Amino acid sequence: MSVFSQSFSPCGRFLAAGNNYGQIALFSLSAALSPDASALNQKPVLTFTAHEGPVFCLLSTDVHLLSSGNGEISAWSWSELIKKNVKPVWTRRPNYRSSLEIPEINAMTLNPRDDTLIVGGGDNNVHILDLEQGVFKAVLQGHTDYIHCLSVRERDNEILSGGEDGAVRVWDTRTGRSAHCIEVYKYEMCARPQFGKWISCVTTDSDWMLCGGGPALSLWHLRSLSPTSVFPLTGCQRQAVFYQDMVLTVGGSSAHIDVFTNPSYRAFSLRF
């Protein structure tokens, strides 16, 4: 079994995890993390089949757990799941070119500004779902290979997407067009040909972007579209986030989280 995705409940008391068999398991964190926890307390309080294929991504809203599989997204009520009632609130499928096309949906993120869900995956496109209306209202086309990661730059009405093609695209949500295409692997300070050109993680904070994967994890100034720093990490980073005045990143071959207060100084590592 491989766990592909995780998400916390809005109340913070439960953790959902999705696996390669299409199942979602719900864990009670208060029970599992109790000083008196037994092996039974660390088992799921609920397990159910959400998709026919793997659960590639999980994401929580204030009321729903969103799950993505091969070509579809389903919403589950958190309040019902906690009561062990399993029934999707809705299931939506992006507007693919062919009814025979069922690419995986690798990434999801929310845009609070207009109450939309941004999804990307194996068809190389970014799809935008209007959560209020329940319909897909736009398709952003430009990547030449499948999409691994997404981020919203809310203040500037922009979406960032990173893919297997080695590009980070910056999309203007007002026009639906790619405003910028940053081919990270072409920058000498970021390039690592031995690992490839794919982008596995991208995140933003105001005028700054973190991205990495095959290329080294790097910090970019978005207004100048230029890399300012490269983090001294040897492996391929899978996730990176800004947190207060720090950068947290995980990936590579070691089971730990690296915490940086600036790109050249690793403050500490959290090992599993």
* pTM greater than the 0.85 cutoff: yes
Nearest Cα to Cα of residue 11 among 24, 34, 30:
30
Q: Considering its fold, how many domains does the chain have in total?
A: 2
Length of the chain: 272
DSSP one-letter string for 140-200: E---SS-EEEEEEEGGGTEEEEEETTSEEEEEETTTTEEEEEEEGGGSTTT--TTT-S-EE
Last residue of a domain, one of 93, 124, 155: 93
Its domain, for residue 76, covers 1-93
Residues 267 and 151 occupy one common structural domain: yes
Quickly list H helices, the chain. Answer: 29-32, 78-82
pLDDT in tens, 82-137: 999 999 999 999 988 776 778 999 999 999 989 999 999 999 999 999 999 999 99
Q: For position 85, what pLDDT does the model report?
A: 95
Residue 111 sits in the same domain as residue 179: yes
Domain final position from 41, 68, 93: 93
Residues 64 and 139 placed together within one structural domain of the fold = no
Residue 226: which CATH number? 2.130.10.10
Residues 118, 241 within the same domain: yes
Mean pLDDT of the chain: 91
Interval 61-78: pLDDT, tens? 999 999 999 999 999 999
Q: Which token pair is 268?
A: 């500490």
Q: In terms of domains, do 107 and 59 share one?
A: no
The two structure tokens encoding residue 251:
């990936």
78 and 103 belong to one structural domain: no
- Answer yes or no: do 39 and 83 share one domain: yes
d(CA 181, CA 137): 23
Q: In the chain, how long is the greatest CA-to-CA distance?
A: 55
DSSP state of 202: E
245 and 114 together in one domain: yes
DSSP state for residue 272 in the 8-state scheme:
-
What is the chain's alpha carbon radius of gyration, rounded to the nearest angstrom? 19
Residue 20 CB coordination number (10 Å): 13
- What CATH number should be reported for the domain holding residue 3? 2.40.128.630
